[in-house]
Chain A
Amino acid sequence: MPETPDFQAYRGTEPPLFQNDAELECAKILDYYGIPWLYEPRTFELEHDEHGRVLEAFAPDFYLPEQDLYLEITVMKQSLVTRKNRKLRKLKERYPDVNIKLFYKRDIERLGQRYGLKLAS
Chain B
Amino acid sequence: MPSDDRIGEIYLSAEELAARVAELGAQIAADYAGREPLLVASLKASFVFLADLTRAIPILHHVDFVELAGYSSDETGGTAAIRFLKDLDAPIHGRDVLIVEDVIDTGLTLNYLVRTFGHRSPRSLAAVTLLDRPYRRLVEDLPVHYVGFTVPDEFFVGYGFDVDELYRNLPDLHILRPAS
Asked whether A110 lies within 8 Å of B72 as measured between CB atoms, the reply is no
A28 with B82: CB separation less than 8 A = no
- Does B77 lie within 8 Å of A33, measured CB to CB? no
Q: Is the CB of B81 within 8 A of A8?
A: yes
Asked whether, in the complex, the Cβ of B79 is within 8 Å of the Cβ of A115, the reply is no
Q: Hey, what's the 0/1 contact readout for B134-166 against A, CB within 8 Å counting as 1? A: 001011100000000000010100000000000
A115 touches B78 (CB 8 A): no
Whether B108 contacts A29 by the Cβ 8 Å rule is yes
B139 near A31 with CB under 8 A, answer no
- Min Cβ gap B44→A in Å is 9
Contact with B along A1-39 (1 / 0, CB 8 A): 001011110000000000000000001110111110000
- Alpha-carbon distance between A3 and B79 when the two chains are bound, in angstroms: 12
One digit per residue, 1 when the CB lies within 8 angstroms of any chain A CB and 0 when it does not, for chain B 39-82 equals 00000010000000000000000000000101111001111111
- Which residue of A32, A67, A71 is within 8 Å of B82 (Cβ)? A32
Give chain B's interface residues, CB within 8 Å of chain A.
Answer: 45, 68, 70-73, 76-82, 105-106, 108-109, 111-112, 136, 138-140, 153, 155
